[in-house]
Amino acid sequence: MKITVLAGGVGGAKFLRGLREHLRATLPDGQGGTTAEITAIVNTGDDLWLTGLRVCPDLDSIMYTLGGANDEERGWGRHGESERVSTELTEYGVGWPWFTLGDLDLGTHITRSHLLREGRTLSEATAHVAARWNLGITLLPMSDQPVETHVVVAGEGAGDGGAAGGAGAGAERSMHFEEWWVRYRAGLPAVRFEQRGLEESVAAPGVVEAILGGDVVLVAPSNPVVSIGTILTVPGIRSALENTAAPIVGVSPIISGAAVRGMAHACLSAIGVATAADAVGLHYGARASGGLLDAWLVDESDSGLLPGLAEAGLRVVAVPLWMNSVEHAAALAGAALAEAALLRA
Amino acid sequence: MKITVLAGGVGGAKFLRGLREHLRATLPDGQGGTTAEITAIVNTGDDLWLTGLRVCPDLDSIMYTLGGANDEERGWGRHGESERVSTELTEYGVGWPWFTLGDLDLGTHITRSHLLREGRTLSEATAHVAARWNLGITLLPMSDQPVETHVVVAGEGAGDGGAAGGAGAGAERSMHFEEWWVRYRAGLPAVRFEQRGLEESVAAPGVVEAILGGDVVLVAPSNPVVSIGTILTVPGIRSALENTAAPIVGVSPIISGAAVRGMAHACLSAIGVATAADAVGLHYGARASGGLLDAWLVDESDSGLLPGLAEAGLRVVAVPLWMNSVEHAAALAGAALAEAALLRA
């Protein structure tokens, strides 16, 4: 069985770990793994060059989590992490002092940047670093070309007529997504998101094939705007999703009107979508009417939304969505696969 | 007073620290520093790109030593150093596992590489990182262009007729100086040294001016072949030394027939020079007969060499050369300056 998953960072990582766990139990290969082939298509819109190093937050979150090297308590990065190099960079006045680059994490960034400079693609560099961790899941960046999400926010000084930098009242300014997300904790109202480099990008090798050739396509409970939304904008991916024979089952990242993790609300409001499981499901849309999804998993607490969604033509199932343990995440992945099996039947 | 010093790494660093100490005591500026202007022209022939990072061993040895951040016990690198990133790089199978990149040290390499990629010259990047440490000495790389020393060694398999890689019996191969020095501990007999990039190089901004405008030029007790020798090959430097009105006083890196530190013997034998204070002095040569030096300081234990050197036209003084404390290094620097004063009188 071939399973393809669209995924962002932390939510995607937990979902993939649960999926792997579920498949090891239900389709074991007799050696601790699974006979199922899992391919993750990972958002790279958060990637950035920082002091000459290519940082890929979502790929690394997934790699560390699946590799058992993640910091469970903090929710991101490597466990046992330290920041000796980062402290030096701050002393030298380079980099972003508010953006943590852990020492262990830097090993990944330096390796990847080195491979990229040697002429390898991001796909190749990702395969190289992932090989160390024996993930049991193939990680594919959505694209080998840089597609960086920038956030356009209202300019400072709007209305005061004397903004520094020559920006007129109400002028917009933009910043890399990670600056908006980490430095400002998504606290500056976003006017819109821009994907820089999108025009020159194509889906990375294997991405379209994994969607077209998959038996199931799952949409992880990741940020619908800047993770899944970004993946969907990459030329080639949307049409592969339209054309695949595989059922496409999505998992809501919103439970009871709040993001399971992170600040998805600030992203959703920028595109005029309510922070609600039904609103996000309708935003993705039913495949029958030109949308993404064949089915949509919402949390049991949101089962009241089912009638409205069914009316809009979206097949919806209410299951426990909280992934507060590997077992719960495995059960959720199992529910998504069960729904896909029904759709294929 | 303007003092210009040609220097390699560790020996150069100790000498410069002693010189600064001596001048703070003899030409104090009333604020803990000195009114003397010290400029160090530093060998960059050992520099290398390693996993995408520009490493400058001699510049950094000097910077850390003068900045009080060096590891006195180990003799190189930062004190309180760790190697967490380096361990990760080895896990990922990149870099040179036998070449230590400390975490604190990496902060310097990442900063410098970042500045170089932003388009700054090595001089500018060096000034940026050095500014943090308040050295009281201006550090100039010998050149802003990469001039990397490679070592040509006899090929393996000489005589066995079946060497791998298609190299014939007795074929030569070459490697970066740091590989020869650190990995093989200078144990592979060197056939010759090559300076790659020399043709495209010129002396860095300020280097020729510091030599021509100095009141004194000192040659630190550094490796005569791969440190001082390399500096002398950079276009513009030799002729500035020929034309400066300043006396040029050198300090022997050899005491009693052995290198004070390091494996200078392996370098000297490659160029057919004996590991002896007189042989190195004669290799540099007396300025009067087209050589480098106006005077040459050897250790007291080598005073027996004085008559022979005087016969060859080289003015020689025997003083204690061991720099086993800052005070001893300061006394040595004082002796070199005293000799220069006599020459100027």
ipTM of the complex: 0.92
What is the least distance, in Å, from the CA of B3 to any CA of chain A? 28
Look at residue B262 in the predicted model and tell me its pLDDT. Answer: 72
Please give the average per-residue pLDDT across B164-180, as a whole number: 75
Chain A contact residues (CB < 8 Å to B): 51-53, 82, 84-85, 87-89, 91-95, 103-104, 106-108, 110-111, 113-115, 117, 128-129, 132
Q: Determine, for residues A110 and B84 on separate chains, whether the beta-carbon distance falls below 8 Å.
A: no
- The CATH T-level fold of domain A1-145+202-345 is Rossmann fold (3.40.50)
CB-based contact A296:A281 (threshold 8 Å): yes
The count of CB pairs under 8 A between chains A and B is 92
Contacts of A88 in chain B (CB under 8 A): 103-104, 106-108, 111
Instruction: Please provide residue B278's backbone torsions phi and psi, each rounded to the nearest 5 degrees.
Output: -70, -40
Interface residues of chain B, partner chain A, Cβ below 8 Å: 51-53, 82, 84-85, 87-89, 91-95, 103-104, 106-108, 110-111, 113-115, 117, 128-129, 132
Is A107 in contact with B117 (Cβ distance < 8 A)? Answer: no
Closest residue in B to A127 (Cα–Cα): B92
* CA neighbor of B263 nearest in space, from B323, B180, B196, B194: B180
Instruction: Give the C-alpha separation, A98 to B283, whole Å.
Output: 54
**What is the model's pLDDT at position B313?**
87
Task: Tell me the β-bridge partners of A339.
Answer: none
Look at the block and give the residue holding tokens 């993946």: A231
Which ranges in B120-189 belong to alpha helices (H)? 122-131, 177-178
Could you count the other beta carbons within 10 Å of the beta carbon of residue B310? 12
Q: Tens place of pLDDT for every residue, chain A, 345 residues? A: 999 999 999 999 999 999 999 999 999 999 999 999 999 999 999 999 999 999 999 999 999 999 999 999 888 899 999 999 999 999 999 999 899 899 999 999 999 999 999 999 999 999 999 999 999 999 999 999 999 999 999 876 443 343 344 445 568 999 999 999 999 999 999 999 999 999 999 999 999 999 999 999 999 999 999 999 999 999 999 999 999 999 999 999 999 988 877 788 999 999 999 999 999 999 999 998 999 999 999 999 999 999 989 888 899 999 999 999 999 999 999 999 999 999 988
DSSP state of B303: G
Cβ(A87)–Cβ(A102) below 8 Å: no
CA-nearest of A268, A276, A321 to A297 is A321
Q: d(Cα A335, Cα A317) in Å, to the nearest integer? A: 9
Instruction: Write out the H or E segment, with its range, that includes residue A196.
Output: strand A190-196
Q: From CA A49, how far away is CA A65, in angstroms rounded?
A: 23
Chain A residues with CB inside 8 Å of B124's CB? Answer: none
Sequence spans of domains, chain A: 1-145+202-345, 148-196
| Nearest one of A168, A182, A195 to A266, comparing CA atoms | A182
Chain A, nearest residue to B85 by Cα: A107
Nearest residue on chain A to B52, alpha-carbon basis: A114
Q: How far is CA A81 from CA A76, A77, A104, A219, B131, in A?
A: 11, 8, 6, 30, 29
Which has the closest alpha carbon to B49: B101, B99, B105, B113?
B113
**Distances in whole angstroms, Cα of residue A97 to Cα of each of A70, A86, A94:** 22, 8, 8
**Full 3-state SS string of A263-277:** CHHHHHHHCCCCCCH
Q: What whole-number distance in Å separates Cα of residue B128 and Cα of residue B70?
A: 19
> CB–CB of A92 and B104 under 8 A?
no
Residues of A in contact with B95 (CB under 8 A): 114
